[in-house]
Structure 1
């Protein structure tokens, strides 16, 4: 995938997260943010490895999100808490998987479109 396209996808993902947070209250921005956090990690995986297979990017991004979530069971340094969080929340694991599951087919469709 062209890196400029991946950077645009990452920027749109951040904008979507900020938009959801600005427009909604309650659990919607929390869990949408979790899913979008994994989508952002997915785009970073694709940015680092442009030829990565979609399933590998999905598993990698969900795995990284889960690893960060489980790390919250221990102490996260204060300087990293705004980025990595500080409280383990089991439902987050589902939403991370949902984010990876949403990015996977989008990536697959893009690759099919361009070949």
Structure 2
């Protein structure tokens, strides 16, 4: 059994970071594709779910040893925090001056987004748990 800090553990962390980085890039690509190819409620709420999926991928990248439930919970909490922050009006002001702020913080509170963030977190959890389970099965075999 490798001890903490061994090359095996570091190698595992590097693999998780690589997968999380790829997941983040694919999520951004999916978000851009949805924006370019769809409109209306589908595009809005798909974007909300993908926002949380992206946050989950970034959490997994930063904390590669975190369990899938912790990653999904952190991504969901961050998404909800940003949505409730919109009630202050600060993100709206920042969004008027910066496209980056508009993408990261949004501008106005929308209650249904809270549900779609949970959907995104559930999808991220399922993918993360599945990938982790598959990695364990390959290690045992």
Hey, which of these two has a bigger chunk of helix by percent? 2
Q: Indicate the TM-score class for this superposition, using the shorter chain for normalisation.
A: over 0.9
- For 1:8, the equivalent position in structure 2 comes to 22
- Work out the number of aligned pairs and report it: 115
Gaps of 5+ in 1: none
The answer for the alignment partner of 2:40 in structure 1 is 26
Which segments of 5 or more consecutive residues in structure 2 lack a partner in the other structure? Answer: 1-12, 137-141
Relative CO higher for 1 or 2, CA cutoff 8 Å, sep ≥ 6? 1
RMSD value, Cα: 1.1
Name the counterpart of 2:7: none
Deviating 4+ runs (over 6 angstroms): none
Partner of 1:90 in structure 2? 111
The structure that has the greater radius of gyration is 2
Structure 2 length as normaliser, TM-score? 0.78
Deviations 1:10-67 (A, max 9, x none): 0000000110111111111110000000000000000000010000011100000000
2:84 maps to which of 49, 57, 70: 70
Matching residue of 2:5: none
Alpha-carbon distance, 1:81 to partner:
2.9
